[in-house]
Chains A and B, each alone.
Chain A
Amino acid sequence: MLTLLIGFAAVNTGNNLLYLLVSALLGFMAVSGVLGKWNLSGISVNCHPPAEVYDGLTTLMKVELFNRRRWLPGILLEVGYYDQKALFPIVDAKSSQQRLLEITFEGRGQHPAPTLRLSSRFPINFFIRHKTLETEKFITVFPRPQLCPMDQLQDPNIQFGNSLSLRKGQDGDINRISNYRGGEPLKRIHWKLSARQGQLKVKELSTTAHTPLILEINQLPGANLEQKLQHGAYLVTRMLRSGRPVGLQNGTMVIPPDTGLHHKQRLLHTLALYGQD
């Protein structure tokens, strides 16, 4: 508008000093356009979802922005996911930075990784340039754990607090500190340590020894398959958190009872994809 107005005055007065000013403003518009385009070029974004993502539960996804350019730093870059935005004020050339974004998936099973939007107002806030970052990654979304009665599943051998095991649980002492994987309750986050180390850390508690348990999917409580799987996810996480070995059976397919993170994910993965293969 300003350029048009001064341009109009320049043409009508023939004043070369006004022409100079208009030329500078036009030059500025051109250079700002190019600079804005450059700012988004050579930038790649990787999303690192947590190890456990549950249907309908909000979790924190790590977004890593990498500036592959040789000289030019990335300025005022924003990675957005719906109404959420992670701002990267200055990303040096040939370097990367990380931020966290809250994400929520609806429905269990394989989901394509969230489509992120890279945008920037740089260099001037007149236009916002953006590009959509498609990804071929898939994320397995586990069934949302649904509270279910556990009277029949009580471990008869163990009285609460009787003997401690080195396995992970939620009722013992702090056993060790590990990285946040997305499924742990917020009360278990060690905020002080997280702040000091720049990434979320959770307290892992010890547990007591328990009798192994095999869950048969069809026998799980619930009015329909989805409820059964949600109860199953709850039982898997609840039991494993208390240190009790859990297995899974569906007809001839049997996953023997075990504990540990890897085993937990295997069970949840099976529940997530159940009926979708």
Chain B
Amino acid sequence: MVKTKTLLNQICYLVAAISIAPVLGFLDFAFVLLAMGATVLGAWFDYKELHPIPGWGTSLVALAVIVNYSLQFSQEDIATPLVHVLISLLGIRMVSTKKGRDYLQIFVLGVFILAGSSLLSLNVEYIIYLVLMVFSITVGLVLLCVFETDSGLAFSSSQLLKLLRVAIVLPTGSLVLMALLFFILPRTSHPLWNFLNPTNKATSGLTEAVKPGAFAKISTGNQLAFRAESPELAPEDLYWRALVLNRPEREEWIRVTPPPEISHVVDKSPSLQLQIFPTSRNDKYLITLDRTTALHGVQHKKSSDHVYETRRKQSQRHSYQIDSKLGAPLTVIGQVDHEFYKALPEFTSVRVQSIAQNISVLPDTDTKLEALADFFRKQSLRYAETDLPSGPNVIEEFLFEKRQGYCEFFASAYVTLARLAGIPARLVGGYYGGEYNPLGSYYLVTEDKAHVWAEVLDNENRWHRVDPSLWATNAASTLGASRLNRLSMLQKITDSLNYYWIQAIVVFDFSRQITMFQESVKTIGSLSKPSVPTGYFWWSLGGVGTCLLIVISRHQRRLSREAKLLRKFQKRVARRYGSTILNETTGLSELAENVDSPHCREFARIYQQAVFTDRALRSTEWKILNSLLKKV
């Protein structure tokens, strides 16, 4: 026999563990030890049935803890001290004597700590803790209910199993309803306390200024930059455009407001629709797939050079949709400010200038561009991330001395040479490549895929993408391969989970709720119109029908031939004389007497003769009974 109190105590330890686990990474180590120690100590006290800490003592400690952490509250960080207070209170409750109301307090504190953890992190692990918490607290509440009805109640293992089997309906049902309610609960488009939500420490491989030679080597992090829901594309199309760097200033390239111009993507090919899920970023640039024609789902500003900027910081998770025409040029209608796009760095070496001079004498832009490409190829440049050129004359060192560098060297050297040769050019910052996850049908792009390339203007006022890094002698083995490496199956699965979590839960907001509502209304509206069902519909209908048939046949199979006949008789009588005539306790003879029908009486007599003497119906009896049945 197991006592209810013992079980209840065990549920409490579980609730304490589940509530502490998601916030472990945000607590001081000493504090974690204290919280765990309190839980273990509480378990020991419960086991030994000791109550060494008086009530006033625990109250005093609780007060001291609240005062201490209240002093640490600040507008920047409310959640961390709050969680510390809650865990302290939980620890105090765990070491104290536990009676009915105390258990309830532990459960409430557990829920509050879990809620607090959502203000510290938005990771997918939350759902695991939530499910575990719902299961343990609901089962705990049922046990508490038993405990409060009769604190001395004890159950055998079979009784306990029965109780738990019913109790488990609660969390299961709650979670099913949770999935439904989550999408219909009212939301606001601009929450007032948005500042309370976790802001991920944004780190971006994307820089707002390109300064080749600033570092002797670059470090690459593989933190997630964004995910893009898309069909699988050719590797050469994976240029994710973020910003344009249009002005050389001292030794770096920066972005200034571009001159006003009207430009379009003129391309007859169909657009490709993608959904972008960026991580928290500390810049305002929205990542698009080169070349994007439209962007929806987030308030933004579009510059004349097709750089998209949000109106708010990207510290919160969000998503947006883009329409793209892969690799299409950007056609400018009207005049381009050539002066602006031909502005040169303050210093360019004579050697670089002489190369540009040779190219500039060529008759047209296409020939010049071809010559530039030839020059880069002939230089046998290598793509490298260590032992990089540096110093004041970095372009010359890159092109003629070290002959190795990463994308920023290639792109800035190319743009400098192009501008020296009289071709309007600009640098484009973004990402190149990405791992495709077929499980979720999306690209996963990490910060180490940050890339810089160039755009040049041709004679017909069209901006073309040129990636000089691809002319590196080792481009295929370094740049290409590293940007397209494949994920392991485990990585694919875990990342898909994260992806769906963000897509379905984290970024679900008021606007998506409205869209969902509108789509539902549209679907309901279309249901009323006669339409030819699709293949899926028939398959689903067939599946449901088959399941029903299996259930009915299994149910029918359990009944004997005689029982089926009796049921048929009862149904027929109920139909003829009304269902009130039947109830669970009405016997066959009684029923026949009640309806006062000779056919029914005869049926009852023959049936009882056979069945009540424990023999099966003979074929003659069977026939008579069936004919009587028809006459009823």
Contacts and interface: CB of A to CB of B under 8 A. Distances in A.
Interface stretch (B184-192, B386-394, B561-569): B184-192
Contact of A2 (B108, B118, B130, B194): B108
B185 A19 contact: yes
Contact of A21 (B130, B138, B173, B187): B130
B484 interface: no
Interface stretch (B9-17, B504-512, B618-626): B504-512
Given A12-B191, A21-B114, A22-B185, A73 B142 contact: no
Contact of B119 (A15, A73, A92): A15
Interface stretch (A23-31, A109-117, A250-258): A23-31
Nearest to B505: A16
Contact of A20 (B138, B505, B584): B505
Interface residues of B, number: 58
A122 B508 contact: no
Interface string B128-152: 0010001000100110111011100
A74 to B, nearest CB: 9
Contacts of B544: none
A149 interface: no
A32 interface: yes
Given A24-B178, A28-B138, A75-B163, A12 B115 contact: no
Nearest to A22: B185
B476 interface: no
Contacts of A124: 141-142, 144-145
B170 to A, nearest CB: 5
A23 B111 contact: no
Contacts of B179: 23
A11 interface: yes
A9 B162 contact: no
Contacts of A75: 163, 166
Report the interface size class on chain A: 35 or more
Contacts of B145: 76, 121-125
Do most interface residues of chain A lie in helix, strand or loop, or is the interface mixed?
Answer: helix
B162 A13 contact: no
Given A35-B169, A92-B162, A27 B175 contact: yes
Contacts of A11: 186-188, 191
A76 B130 contact: no
Contacts of B118: 15, 17-18, 21
A9 B146 CA distance: 32
A20 B191 contact: no
Contacts of A57: none
Contact of A26 (B127, B181, B506): B181
Q: Which of A13, A19, A24 has the most CB of B within 10 A?
A: A24
B193 interface: yes
Interface string B158-171: 01001100110111
Given A19-B185, A21-B114, A23-B177, A14 B197 contact: yes
A15 B142 CA distance: 29
B167 A123 contact: yes
Contacts of A14: 187-188, 191, 194, 197, 509-510
Contacts of B169: 31, 35
B585 to A, nearest CB: 11
Given A16-B507, A76-B145, 14 more contacts: A6-B111, A14-B187, A15-B119, A19-B187, A23-B178, A25-B111, A28-B134, A28-B174, A30-B177, A31-B173, A31-B177, A89-B153, A90-B155, A124-B142
Interface of A: 2, 6-7, 9-28, 30-32, 34-35, 68, 72-73, 75-76, 78, 87, 89-90, 92, 121-125
